[in-house]
Amino acid sequence: MIQRLALLCVFSALLSACGSKPAGLEPVTLTDAQNKLFENSCKNCHVQAGNPAPQMGDQAAWEPRVAKGLEALVKNAITGINQMPAGGMCITCTPQDYEALIRHMAAPAVQGK
Ligand code: HEC
């Protein structure tokens, strides 16, 4: 039992260490539904040269934003920020969808897609 507890501690310490990174930039695989959400909303501005939105995979544009932390980005996506409309014109997106969509756009691995 004590061993188990110790393991749990190690595990949660690891978890919180991950959580304290500025943001998880690991790319995600969007679900089919999330892909549709992306096509119908975010993509119209975030994959649109000349748009003031940070473009998908553009590290220079995303870096200072990612530094705010993923949680702050999700919140700003939901409430809107400057020229980014509240919710990014996605009425059905859940906070989990926003998180996935943001990772999708901010991750360097998906650049150019
Ligand atoms: C109508 C155009 C438009 C759409 C649609 C849109 N965005 Fe944006 N988005 C912007 C613009 C413009 C900015 C830059 C705002 C600024 O000046 O900081 C932005 C910024 C952001 C940021 C950075 C926020 C920050 O705190 O710096 C996130 C995250 C984001 N968008 C997520 C999304 C997601 C997710 C979607 C789709 C659900 C989406 N956006 C759809 C225009 C759009």
Listed by start position, the domains of the chain span 24-110
Residue 13 pLDDT > 70, yes or no?
Answer: no
The CA distance from 103 to 29, in Å, is 9
Per 3-state DSSP, the chain is made up of helix, strand and coil in percentages (nearest 5) of: 60, 0, 40
Higher local confidence (pLDDT), 109 or 25: 25
pLDDT in the model for residue 73: 96
State the residue for tokens 């909303």. 41
CATH code reported for the domain at 24-110: 1.10.760.10
Read off the pLDDT band of 2 (50, 70, 90): low
Pocket of ligand 1 (CB under 6 A): 41-42, 44-46, 52-54, 65, 68, 73, 76-77, 81-85, 88-90, 93, 98, 101-102
pLDDT in tens, 29-49: 999 999 999 999 999 999 999
Q: What angle do CA 102, 103, 105 make, to 5 degrees?
A: 65
pLDDT in tens, 61-111: 999 999 999 999 999 999 999 999 999 999 999 999 999 999 999 987 544
Q: Which of 65, 84, 102, 105 to mutate to test the pocket of ligand 1 (most atoms within 8 A of CB)?
A: 84
Helix or strand run (H / E) with residue 30: none
Higher local confidence (pLDDT), 103 or 2: 103
